[in-house]
Structure 1
């Protein structure tokens, strides 16, 4: 039995920059095999939490400037996000 090919790693710095260039537009961030992982990444984006090691921080700052959601796909779960700007 063959294994599924690994999905490309998500560059969250690139994704966050792309979202800031297209405010209020939902764009895909990345695909994840596990819905649990995808939901955790989406939560971290929305709350401005670090993704990965804490010392690397997060490109999704300031807190509350991004919204995120997940979508089931044929091969897993896709994370979408949008930049809504800083809240007053």
Structure 2
């Protein structure tokens, strides 16, 4: 059994912010329930990955959906927030980055 490729949620969120309203691929999941869970996390503004937990903030500025594929379910996200939301998220990321780096080092 092969492992699923690691997803850089900050890169996905940045791609969404750079292309507001356009669906961007997040990843493909073998289980539909896992894909549905990721959709829920994106809509709620967080992920289960501790080092990328806050990639989709503020809450409500991203939409997500999943579609069935031959091998499972594909998740896509898009940015629907405002310029103020993007500035707020950038500021939060700048504040959290040193803490995340220190946390990853330990």
TM-score range (shorter-chain normalised) is: 0.7 to 0.9
Give the match for residue 66 of structure 1.
Answer: 62
Matches of 1:61 and 1:73, distance apart in 2: 28
CA RMSD of aligned residues (A): 2.0
Aligned-pair CA distance for 1:60? 0.1
Quick one: distance in 2 between partners of 1:77 and 1:61?
A: 24
* 1:7 positional shift: 3.0
1:13 positional shift: 1.0
Q: Extract structure 1 runs of 4+ deviating beyond 6 A.
A: none
Q: TM-score with structure 2 length normalisation?
A: 0.70
Higher relative contact order, structure no. (Cα contacts within 8 Å, ≥ 6 residues apart) = 1
1:18 to 4, 7, 15: 15
Write the distance in 2 (CA, Å) between the matches of 1:27 and 1:49.
17
Given that 1:51 and 1:58 are in contact with CA atoms closer than 8 Å, whether structure 2 keeps it comes out as no
The structure with the greater share of residues assigned to helix is 2
| Structure showing the higher strand proportion among its residues | 1
Whose radius of gyration is greater, 1 or 2?
Answer: 2
Q: Does the Cα contact within 8 Å between 1:13 and 1:59 map onto a contact in 2?
A: yes
